[in-house]
Amino acid sequence: MATLLVFLESWFSLSGRQRFRERRASGAYGVVTVFVPLQGSVEKLDRAIRSIFSQSYPFLELVLIYCEDDLRHVNLSREIRGLRTHIPIRVVATAFPIENEADRIRALEQAQAGARGRWWTVLRPDIVLDRLAIESALEFAGSNEVTAMALRPGVQCTTLVERVIAPSMEYLLQMMCVVDNRRERNRKSALDAPFLLVNREAFEVVHRINRLPGILNDAGWTIWSYQVEGLRTYEGDGARWMWREASLRSWASQTDSGRRYGARSAGFVVASLLVTAISIFGLGFGFAGQIDSFSEASILAFSGVSYALMAISYFLYARRLRALGWFAPLWFLAHIPASFLTIIEIRRKVRERQVASAGSPSSTPRTPLRS
């Protein structure tokens, strides 16, 4: 049943992205302002920014947001401004470091004042865009009257080992998401989307609502939290047009940064590993010996169905990740090392969380005061 549930989840999640197809922009959508808060590695930032320069849509404006005390990002912004390109570049320096989601919102609030685009795009610093990414998203939003659009990127596999094991790593991550019932939570956190396209007029409507007396949240980027007439949002899979690089040792942390692991997550991975062993040994038992009873025939049938569903799931994830789809009949050779890598990552994340909670001020014992 777990195998069937994850298979159905994979099928519907991957077939749904076919509604968003690649097409050239046919309408006059005006200038698109691309906001890039500079965080993390300079190498990844450089690749992401250069992918913006290669976009097919010509009317772009690039806004680089960085902390004025971070010399790496200051030097990178100077280097980018020195490039010869048709895209106007504007830089915005903040007095605070951009480390978490709240800092990103504060930085975007500061940078939006001088933006001149009719559409705004917020891009994560580790996302590399296909040359038709912005144009395809803009045409889809404009033709379908979508005012806010969030897309999830794919993962780019570089080595042969990653292309073999990555579909199984993604399968295990999706299995934990399904069991934990994370779908509703992901819909509420669309603000954290790596690629966000927002119509400026719709944003200003929500922003004015947030400025009314009695509204606790003054950030207009929470556009998904409102049901406003004429405000239509869309969330989809943009794996064909944007991707990020991920390592097998920290796969789930990089593809789902908000996940909190526990002992139950490791139990799910172990259960998946047992299901893999049962399906393999069940097929071997059925083909090696003579089937004389209904129970033996049932073992062979259920093992065959589980093996086929796992192979199809591997093929679907391999197609999404641009991995080796032809390796699907031998999926168990990738599933076993992927399970061990996932368990190691879960233990590492749990240990880091325990260390962080032990070092927090709330966990520090208080010293009694003497009179």
Q: What is the pLDDT of residue 20?
A: 55
pLDDT in tens, 51-100: 999 998 888 999 999 998 889 999 998 898 888 888 899 999 998 888 88
Q: How big is the chain, counted in residues?
A: 371
Instruction: Residue 238: name the closest of 341, 140, 102 by CA.
Output: 140
> 236 - beta bridge partners?
151
In this prediction, residue 176 carries a pLDDT of 73
Question: For residues 313 and 316, what is the distance between their CA atoms, to the nearest angstrom?
Answer: 5
Q: How far apart are CA 145 and CA 134, in angstroms?
A: 16
The DSSP symbol for 258 reads: T
Q: 57-61, 233-237, 333-337: which range is least confident on average?
A: 233-237
Residue with tokens 């830089």: 91
Q: Could you tell me the pLDDT band of residue 33, with boundaries at 50, 70 and 90?
A: very high
Percent of the chain with pLDDT over 70: 72
**Top-confidence residue, 267 or 196:** 196
Summarised one tens digit per residue, pLDDT across range 306-325 is 888 888 888 888 877 778 88
At residue 34, the pLDDT reads 93
Of the chain, the percentage scoring pLDDT greater than 90 comes to 7
Q: Which residue has 């159905």 as its token pair?
A: 8
- CATH match for 28-158+182-254 among 3.40.50.720, 3.20.190.10, 2.40.160.10, 3.90.550.10: 3.90.550.10
Mean pLDDT of 244-248: 72
What mean pLDDT is reported for the chain? 76
Q: Where in the chain are the domains?
A: 28-158+182-254
Q: Find the range with the poorest average confidence among 41-55, 200-214, 354-368.
A: 354-368
Pick the more confident residue, 230 or 248.
248
pTM over 0.75? The answer is: no
User: Tokens 């789930």 label which residue?
Assistant: 252
Instruction: Check whether 117 has a pLDDT greater than 60.
Output: yes
Q: How confident is the model at residue 366 (pLDDT cuts 50, 70, 90)?
A: very low
d(CA 41, CA 46): 9
Least confident span in 36-45, 70-79, 230-239: 230-239
Q: From CA 222, how far away is CA 212, in angstroms rounded?
A: 15
The pair of structure tokens assigned to 148 is 């806010």
Instruction: State yes or no: pLDDT of 37 exceeds 80.
Output: yes
Q: What is the pLDDT of residue 196?
A: 87
pLDDT at residue 62, rounded to an integer: 93
Taking the alpha carbons at both ends of the chain, their separation in whole angstroms is 64
- Per-residue pLDDT at 360: 52
